[in-house]
Copies of this chain bind each other. A is one copy, B any other.
Amino acid sequence: LDKFVIIAAGGRGERMHAGTPKQFILLSDKPILMHTLSIFPLAIPSIHIILILPADQIAIWKKLCKKYSFDIPHQITEGGRDRFYSVRNGLELIGDQCLAGIHDGVRPLVSCETIINAFDEAEKYGNAIPAIPIIESVRSIGNNVSHPVKRDTLRIIQTPQVFHSSLIKKAYKQKYRSDFTDDATVIEALGEKIHLINGNFENIKITSQNDLIIAEALLKNRLI
């Protein structure tokens, strides 16, 4: 099956540097988003990359690509008013008989192993959702009390979440719901069973200044 990855890069970075969308912030030698795009062809050389950007960031991105001589082939399309509509725009560019991964632009540290495994398992099971255990103690809060939760029953969910394209395209024809917190929850609303696979611990979502510091350190120590 043909393999696509939709990279959702709609964030505006309010939590970090005023002005610079977080996916354009420098991580080591180049913008975060360039690291993210670069890892996919390393894992799957034939993969097609679809990058979704807010309309007003497309020209900036193209300038950055020139500045950094960034030559990973990718198709660019415009985002919608939030992530759900952005991903839907991206899915319109993909046929019914392929595998579609959906990945956060600010997760540059996904491993090749996670990517390869996600596409392989999605081909077998229809979907593959990377997840990692929680190491620390967890409590659940509500109504002014809290109680302990068995941490071994919890998983932190990552991306890329990979699907048979016919399934995810069908799922994204549904009306938007506020409990669609990721793509897995969108296909779940069709009655599909979620297939969790192992993610990698380094695959953090960069949303704060601390995350950026952590990502720099992990990148420096990464063995690709």
Q: A69 in the interface, Cβ–Cβ < 8 Å?
A: no
- Determine whether the beta carbon of B207 is less than 8 Å from that of A213: no
Chain B residues positioned under 8 Å from A208 (CB to CB): 201
- Determine whether the beta carbon of B156 is less than 8 Å from that of A140: no
Residues of A bordering B, CB below 8 Å: 131, 134-142, 145-146, 148-149, 151, 153-158, 179, 181-182, 184-185, 188, 193-194, 196, 201-202, 205, 207-208, 210, 213-214, 216-218, 221
CA gap between A1 and B134 in the complex, in Å: 36
Chain B residues positioned under 8 Å from A154 (CB to CB): 138-141, 149, 154
Least CB distance from A120 to B in Å reads 20
Provide a sorted-by-A list of 25 A–B residue pairs whose CB atoms are within 8 angstroms: A135-B205, A136-B158, A136-B205, A137-B156, A137-B182, A138-B155, A138-B157, A139-B154, A139-B157, A140-B155, A141-B153, A141-B155, A145-B194, A148-B179, A148-B185, A148-B188, A149-B154, A151-B181, A154-B154, A201-B208, A202-B210, A210-B218, A213-B217, A214-B218, A217-B217
A interface SS class: mixed
Contact of A196 (CB < 8 Å), options: B141, B185, B193: B141
Q: A201-B208, A213-B217 are in contact. List 4 more A-B contacts (CB 8 A).
A: A136-B205, A139-B157, A148-B185, A216-B217
With A137-B181, A218-B214 in contact, do A153 and B145 touch (Cβ < 8 Å)? no
Chain B residues positioned under 8 Å from A217 (CB to CB): 213-214, 216-217
**What are the 5 tightest A-B residue pairs by CB atom distance, in nearest-first order?**
A217-B217, A137-B157, A137-B182, A214-B214, A136-B156
Chain B residues positioned under 8 Å from A218 (CB to CB): 210, 213-214
